[in-house]
């Protein structure tokens, strides 16, 4: 893309028109920026803390310990015959990436009002970079998870690992990212108008976790509540992840299809809302 070719192109700034003015090609032009944002996020986290990336490990370890104690030892909820530590850690790895994406993209506009007010770049590059930089934490946690998995294997635990399903893992991660991003940008678009929504997101995500089979297997859910679990687009994702590495979980194609559909729709609504809001939100902040 040379400067000359740009020079000749006539560009137009117009009032907001319609809902489908998405200009997603801009996002591709600014791909370097997205990667630099990712780098910035990572470096900033790394430089400003004592433990640096270790935080990524500490959080799931502590939560797993608490879960093992509360749900395993006190409530005695069975974990489909898998060692509880592994069971919870698998769920938490998936969930923490998802909730991280959602939480950190949900305040895109409010947090970046300063920079958004001064210079134009595709606003979507900010939440996108957040989702990508979240992968770093995810992979660190994945590594720990696999280490624990190998450890348990040597201890003689019977774990039904499904190597073929690893191929589907990238798709699974993509779906988590898309779902987190979708919800996050919907919330961030709405928070420009309703600031009180931010309060809701924090504990909403917390509650959502309990509606997802993280601390319990979906097989333990009573029949009359199964529909809640089935409607939750995160359910098949978590179950797929567990099935891949631990060989447990309830998967059915219909549910997977439904959750994929939900993901696409939510992401689509999110992008439309976000593109609509990004054009004029500076006037309302």
Among 52, 117, 160, 257, binds other proteins (CB under 8 A): 117
Nearest CA to 103 out of 196, 203, 239 is that of 203
Instruction: Build a one-symbol-per-residue string for 189-208: x at contacts with other proteins by CB under 8 A, - elsewhere.
Output: -x--xx-xx-----------
The answer to whether 272 contacts other proteins (rule: CB under 8 A) is: no
The answer to whether 109 contacts other proteins (rule: CB under 8 A) is: no
Query: Within 36-65, which residues bind other proteins (CB under 8 A)?
Result: 36-37, 39-40, 43-44, 47-48
Among 32, 74, 156, 254, binds other proteins (CB under 8 A): 32
Give the Cβ contact number of residue 107 at 10 Å.
Answer: 17
CB of 3 to other proteins, least distance (A): 7
- Judged by phi (left if over 0) then psi (alpha if -120 to 50, else beta), residue 161 lies in beta
Residue 164's alpha-carbon distances to 144, 160, 161, 168, in angstroms, are: 21, 12, 9, 8
The Cα–Cα gap between 60 and 68 comes to: 12
Give the Cβ contact number of residue 273 at 10 Å.
Answer: 18
Among 58, 146, 228, 282, binds other proteins (CB under 8 A): 282
The answer to whether 223 contacts other proteins (rule: CB under 8 A) is: no
The answer to whether 116 contacts other proteins (rule: CB under 8 A) is: yes
Residue 17, burial from CB neighbour count under 10 angstroms (0-12, 13-18, 19+): exposed
The Cα–Cα gap between 203 and 189 comes to: 19
The answer to whether 2 contacts other proteins (rule: CB under 8 A) is: no
* From 29-37, 94-102, 156-164, 230-238, span contacting other proteins (CB under 8 A): 29-37
**Residue ranges in contact with other proteins by CB under 8 A:** 1, 3, 6-16, 30, 32-33, 36-37, 39-40, 43-44, 47-48, 115-121, 190, 193-194, 196-197, 279-280, 282-284
């Amino acid at each position: 893309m040379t400067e000359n070719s740009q020079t000749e192109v006539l560009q137009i700034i117009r009032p907001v028109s319609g809902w489908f003015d998405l200009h997603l090609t801009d996002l591709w032009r600014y791909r370097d920026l997205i990667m630099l944002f990712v780098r910035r996020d990572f470096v900033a986290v790394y430089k400003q803390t004592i433990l640096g990336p270790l935080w990524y490990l500490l959080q799931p370890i502590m939560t797993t310990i608490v879960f093992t104690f509360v749900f395993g030892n006190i409530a005695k909820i069975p974990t489909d015959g898998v060692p509880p530590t592994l069971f919870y850690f698998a769920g938490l790895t998936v969930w923490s990436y998802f909730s991280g994406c959602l939480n950190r993209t949900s305040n895109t506009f409010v947090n970046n009002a300063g920079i958004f007010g001064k210079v134009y770049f595709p606003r979507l590059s900010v939440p996108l970079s957040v989702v990508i930089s979240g992968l770093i934490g995810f992979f660190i946690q994945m590594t720990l998870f696999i280490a624990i998995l190998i450890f348990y294997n040597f201890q003689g635990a019977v774990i039904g690992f499904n190597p073929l399903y690893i191929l589907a893992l990238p798709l699974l991660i993509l779906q988590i990212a898309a779902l987190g991003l979708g919800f996050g940008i919907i919330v961030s678009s709405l928070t420009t108008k309703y600031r009180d929504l931010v309060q809701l997101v924090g504990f909403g995500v917390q509650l959502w976790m309990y509606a997802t089979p993280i601390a319990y297997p979906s097989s333990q859910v009573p029949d009359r509540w199964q529909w809640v679990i089935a409607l939750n687009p995160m359910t098949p994702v978590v179950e797929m992840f567990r099935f891949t590495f631990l060989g447990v979980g309830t998967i059915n194609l219909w549910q997977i299809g439904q959750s994929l559909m939900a993901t696409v729709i939510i992401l689509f609504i999110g992008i439309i809302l976000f593109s609509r809001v990004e054009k004029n939100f500076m006037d309302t902040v």
